[in-house]
Amino acid sequence: MSLFISNAYAQSAGGAPQGGGMEMIIMLAVFGLIFYFLLYRPQAKRVKEHKDLVSSLSKGDEVLTQGGLVGKITKVSEEKDFIEVALNDANNIVVQKSSVTAVLPKGTMKSL
């Protein structure tokens, strides 16, 4: 036996409380609700809004793409998921509908 270090003795068997099943189920349910309201529900809402935005694209809309390009839609392909966007009078590009981030108000291109 040392002067500065005390001896450690093991606890006797049989003294630990049993149970905890109902508390575990309640905790799992609370974590499930937190996951649903903080992660899943907002993401599902954003996906639905983007799907509505993509389905409402039409010729003449001014759009912003994920790459940061701003242009006016000149052609919409219904059977394929592509649109043609005029960046200016001389340049047209073809992009996927899903790459459109936002539909801008009319006249935005002229103000840039």
Tens-digit pLDDT profile for residues 3-13: 788 887 777 76
> CATH 2.30.30: does it fit domain 58-111?
yes
pLDDT band at 18 (very low <50, low <70, confident <90, very high): low
pLDDT at 47: 96
pLDDT at 97: 94
- Going from the C-alpha of 92 to that of each of 4, 20, 52, 96, 104, the distances in angstroms are 82, 65, 25, 13, 18
CB 102 within 8 A of CB 111: no
CB 94 within 8 A of CB 86: no
- Give dist(CA 32, CA 43) in Å, integer: 16
CB atoms within 10 A of CB 60: 9
How do residues 45-98 score in pLDDT, each as one tens digit? Answer: 999 999 999 999 999 999 999 999 999 999 998 888 999 999 999 999 999 999
Q: Is residue 17 predicted with pLDDT exceeding 70?
A: no
Residues facing residue 83 across a β-bridge: 76, 95
Spell out the domain ranges in the chain. 20-56, 58-111
pLDDT at 61: 94
pLDDT at 30: 96
